[in-house]
Every structure is written in C-alpha cells, then in structure tokens.
Amino acid sequence: MRTPIIAGNWKMNNTIKEAIELIDGIKKNELNEEVEAVVCVPFTAIRDVKEAIKGTKIKLGAQNMHWEESGAFTGEVSPLMLNELEVEYCIVGHSERRQYFSETDETVNKKIKSALAHGIKPIVCVGETLTQREANKAEEVVKNQVVKGFEGISVEDINNIVIAYEPIWAIGTGKTASSDDANAMCAFIRETIGELYGNEKDNIRIQYGGSVKPNNIKELMGKSDIDGALVGGASLKADDFVKLINY
Ligand code: PGA
C-alpha cells in the first residue's frame, strides 16, 4: 500500500511571520495520521517552520535546490544547506522553474541525483502545456520528462522519489484536470516507471497537482493511480490545507 502524500507548495508566499501563523492555524486541528503531510516553504522560512512543526507529523520541504554542494553559484542553495535544516523533501523541476528559470530535464536529472545522494526526497514535477495536450502530445511530453529526469537513477532509489503530475494549464487557473484524465496520466507515468524499473512501479507515489481544492480532493484521491496532491493556492489557507489532509 502506498501512503498518501499531500504536499503544500507555498511558492513565493509567506514571510516568516505569516509562515508561523499558517503553521499555527494548521496545528489547531487534528490531522489524519494515515496521510503524510508536507509543507514546502520558502528558504527564508525553513528554519522557523522547522521549529513550528516540532511535535507534529507535518514534514518539512524546500521548493528548489542546486545540485552542487557549494561554489560560485550566486543566489543558489545547496543540498548541504538543506541537510543542515533537516529538510526531508525538495520539489524539483516545478513547471514554474522550467518556464521562468530555464530548468531543463538535464538540470532536473542532476538535482534528483544530488537530492538522493544527500538523503533528500525529491518531488519531481512533470506535466504538459495546453497546446501540447490539444495536439495529443501530452503522453509523449510527460514520458520524455520522466525518462530524461530519471536517467542514471538506480532502482534502489525509486522508493525515495515522489512524482507530481501537474498539467501546466491546471496550475493556479482553477481548471482541474478531470479526475479520470488525471488518473489516466498518473497510470501512464506508472507504466513508464514499470518499463524502467519493473515492479517498483507499484511502490512509487504519484501525486496530481493543479487547482486541487477541498471540493475536488476526495474524488481525485479515490482514483487508483493518484497517491496524493501537490497543492499551491489551497495550501496557503490553514483550513483548506487541513481539509486536504483530512480528505
Ligand atoms: P495550484 O498550484 O494548486 O495553485 O494550482 C499547484 C502547483 O503549482 O504545485
């Protein structure tokens, strides 16, 4: 059985003060113990959020990292720095990073390898644009992202990776993929993992992301190949995020 994983991607939101308020709001509620809950917070808030979630089951994540341990990479944050803050998860290759910060399947691959080498579990994002979907290229695009992203990654590491299928047209737009379409692509991704890693396909967790809200989480999570959600907007409101965890 795959443990469901609901991860909040705060993106470039929340000062330290706001971050603590949000965590305090979440902590006022009972959280479903069977669901793994993660908050992927801005670098500046990691240290304070780490303190704020102590004693809870909420886990700590970052939103990006460089693959090198140190060096002349102005503005970047290394896996060693994340290790020091006991960051357990790191989002890798989010479509916003691919789109605005020129990340490619090659850099995503380096980041996945580095994260794993440093004991950080990558949440690897893949997904197609609306144009690609309309041209019937969605599967081809996503398969390519998975195959290139996972190049050289050994079968022993598969269990430490989470994949997030996020169709770009559904992110922050209020348009969710239908639960059937989302599930079909997650199943297709699982098949692709099967081609690369055999039976590990049944262990890897695959999230859906893109306008996940309290009113659609239950249906999405009821699908056979969707093991969780990567959530932007709705993770910024304590009540909504709690509803997602307690779907
Ligand atoms: P959204 O973002 O939930 O606001 O659509 C999801 C994401 O980008 O991870």
Q: Which of these, 70, 117, 71, 72, lies nearest to 90 by C-alpha position? A: 117
Ligand 1: list residues with CB < 6 Å: 9, 166, 171-172, 209-212, 230-234
- Ligand 1 center from residue 229 Cα (angstroms): 9
> What digits encode the pLDDT tens for the residues 65-111?
999 999 999 999 999 999 999 999 999 999 999 999 999 999 999 99
CATH number at residue 184: 3.20.20.70
Q: In this prediction, what percent of the chain has a pLDDT beyond 70?
A: 100
For residue 194, how many other CB atoms are within 10 A of its CB? 14
Atom 2 (ligand 1) nearest CA: 232
Q: Which of 66, 94, 96, 128 is catalytic?
A: 94
Residue 171 CA: nearest ligand 1 atom is: 5
- Ligand 1 center from residue 172 Cα (angstroms): 5
Mean pLDDT confidence for 100-128: 98
Using the predicted structure, report yes or no on whether residue 117 has a pLDDT greater than 90.
yes
| C-beta of residue 92 within 8 angstroms of C-beta of residue 122 | yes
Model pTM score:
0.97
Specify the pLDDT at position 223: 98
Q: What residue numbers bound the domain in which 36 lies?
A: 5-245
> What digits encode the pLDDT tens for the residues 40-75?
999 999 999 999 999 999 999 999 999 999 999 999
Joined together, the tokens standing for residue 199 give 């039976």
C-alpha–C-alpha distance, residues 216 and 85, integer Å: 33
Residues 6 or more apart whose CB falls under 8 angstroms from that of 246 comprise 29, 30, 31, 32, 35
- 112 pLDDT band, cuts 50/70/90, is very high
| C-beta of residue 40 within 8 angstroms of C-beta of residue 89 | yes
Using the predicted structure, report yes or no on whether residue 142 has a pLDDT greater than 90.
yes
Q: Which of these, 239, 236, 232, lies nearest to 214 by C-alpha position? A: 239
- 1 pLDDT band, cuts 50/70/90, is confident
Specify the pLDDT at position 172: 85
Q: Which of these, 234, 232, 237, lies nearest to 91 by C-alpha position? A: 232
Q: Which of these, 221, 237, 223, 238, lies nearest to 6 by C-alpha position? A: 221
Number of independent structural domains in the chain = 1
- Residue 91 backbone dihedrals phi, psi, to 5 degrees: -70, 135
Using the predicted structure, report yes or no on whether residue 180 has a pLDDT greater than 90.
yes
Q: In sequence order, which ranges of 1-129 are alpha helices (DSSP H)?
A: 16-27, 43-52, 79-84, 95-100, 105-117
Specify the pLDDT at position 175: 81
Count Cβ neighbours within 10 Å for each residue of 48-79 and write b for 16 or more, e otherwise: bbeebbeeeebbbbbbbbbbeeeeeeeeebbb
Give the residue, out of 165, 208, 215, 230, with the most ligand 1 atoms within 8 A of its beta carbon, to mutate for a pocket test. 230
> What digits encode the pLDDT tens for the residues 195-216?
999 999 999 999 999 999 999 9
